[in-house]
């Protein structure tokens, strides 16, 4: 699911809008916020995204897209936990 989220966030970056409404993301991502929250918080600390709310709607702003090398590194780190 993490890989799917990364692909979605990378796909539109710089072309349309770098801000995504969580509920507008494709299934099963849209119903997996709590599951993905630790990963999202890690990406926020690393400066890749910013999490925020508008009118109680969870939003994600992509600050810089992850490279494939970074994706592989993150997956390895998460598998150690």
Whichever domain contains 13, its CATH number is 1.10.10
State the pLDDT confidence band at 51, using cuts at 50, 70 and 90.
very high
Domain containing residue 7: 2-80
- DSSP, collapsed to helix, strand or coil, labels residue 16 as coil
> pLDDT digit string (tens) for 2-37?
777 777 777 655 556 788 888 888 888 878 888 889
Q: Does the predicted model carry a pTM greater than 0.85?
A: no
Residue 48 has phi, psi (to 5 degrees) of: -85, -35
| Rg of the chain taking only CA atoms, in angstroms | 12
What total of structural domains would you count in the chain? 1
**Count of CB atoms within 10 A of residue 78's CB?**
12
Q: What is the spatial distance between Cα 67 and Cα 81, in angstroms, rounded to a whole number?
A: 22
Q: Who has greater pLDDT, 63 or 4? A: 63
Q: How far apart are CA 79 and CA 12, in angstroms?
A: 27
């Amino acid at each position: 699911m993490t890989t799917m989220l990364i692909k979605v966030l990378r796909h539109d970056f710089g072309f349309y809008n770098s801000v995504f409404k969580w509920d507008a993301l494709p299934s099963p991502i849209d119903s997996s916020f709590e599951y993905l929250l630790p990963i999202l918080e890690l990406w926020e600390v690393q400066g890749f995204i910013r999490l925020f709310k508008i009118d109680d709607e969870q939003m994600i702003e992509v600050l810089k897209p992850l490279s494939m090398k970074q994706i592989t590194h993150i997956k390895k780190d998460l598998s150690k936990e």
